[in-house]
Amino acid sequence: MTATDNGPCLTKTSLRRFEEDGFTVVRGLFGYDEIDRLCAEFAALHAAGPVPGHFEPRASADPLHRYPRVMHPHEINGLARNTLLDPRLRTVLEALLGEEVLAAQSMFYFKPPGARGQALHQDNFYLRVEPGTCVAAWVACDEIDRDNGGLEVVPGTHRMELFCPEEADAEVSFAREYVPPPPGLTAVPVDMRPGDVLFFNGSLVHGSQPNRSTDRFRRSFIGHYVGRSTERIGHYYRTLSMNGERVPLPRSEGAGPCGTEFAPRGPH
């Protein structure tokens, strides 16, 4: 499945895979030049220093403290906003959800060499979308594979209820929550190239291993989206129409940022 000059191509086979497995990939949805501009924008943001509430790097031996994820970058950067609301994403998302979509969140991960991953989890554990669930659009900004901590998914778990997480291993995961694969199911890697987009259901169990490379970042831009029929969402998420208009929704309970981090340790 690839993008065409007339827009993204979502075949019946790809749609069926999303319905059966909980995820699908659109290859080359964004061009390499677009991804280069996006990465340059976030490199400049990192060089400029902290933006309280969005991005707060600090001196540390931990690469994730020097290069933390950027939360809600669309609220502080025009290119990030345009990416979150991109019409190509909207076309695919509306085909997957079967209705108008709203954007709920954006994030950018640098994931530098040596960075921990994020233990297996479910996004809707954090967003608390009611009724239904969210859908993520995960945009690869580098060559992404097992060596540099690419994403892993557990096909079929999107049909299941939200699991009560166990505590993750802080040595390999920056987030505290861990959902072990249900019996008979296993995590499978999703290798990607810059500009590929992985779309997945908010109940799908997914995560990533540490970046074990010595010289490769694993950058990614992520948007979370919900259907217009959504009635409630967690207070942390500030929904927008794909035209950029604020669409407030009532709050659901128990929500939080997507992945609750272990308490940071001091410089070491």
Global pTM reads 0.93
CATH code linked to domain 3-241:
2.60.120.620
In this structure, the strands spanning 166-167 and 177-178 are: antiparallel
Q: In this structure, what are the phi and psi dihedrals at residue 61, rounded to the nearest 5 degrees?
A: -75, -15
**pLDDT at site 268:** 38
Tell me which residue of 88, 114, 93, 113 sits closest to 103, measured CA to CA.
93
**pLDDT at site 266:** 45
Token pair for residue 24?
A: 């699908």
* pLDDT tens for each residue of the chain, 268 residues long: 445 434 456 888 899 999 999 999 999 999 999 999 999 999 999 999 999 999 999 999 999 999 999 999 999 999 999 999 999 999 999 999 999 999 999 999 999 999 999 999 999 999 999 999 999 999 999 999 999 999 999 999 999 999 999 999 999 999 999 999 999 999 999 999 999 999 999 999 999 999 999 999 999 999 999 999 999 999 999 999 999 999 999 999 887 777 677 665 444 3
Token pair for residue 126?
A: 């954090």
* Dihedral angle of Cα 92, 211, 181, 20, to the nearest 10 degrees: 20
Query: What is the H or E stretch that residue 222 is in?
Result: strand 220-227
CA distance 113 to 229: 41
Beta bridge partner(s), residue 224: 105, 136
Output the CA torsion sign for 57, 54, 152, 137: negative
Beta bridge partner(s), residue 109: 220
**pLDDT at site 258:** 72
Q: Domain boundaries in the chain? A: 3-241
CA distance 120 to 1: 26
Token pair for residue 160?
A: 């299941």
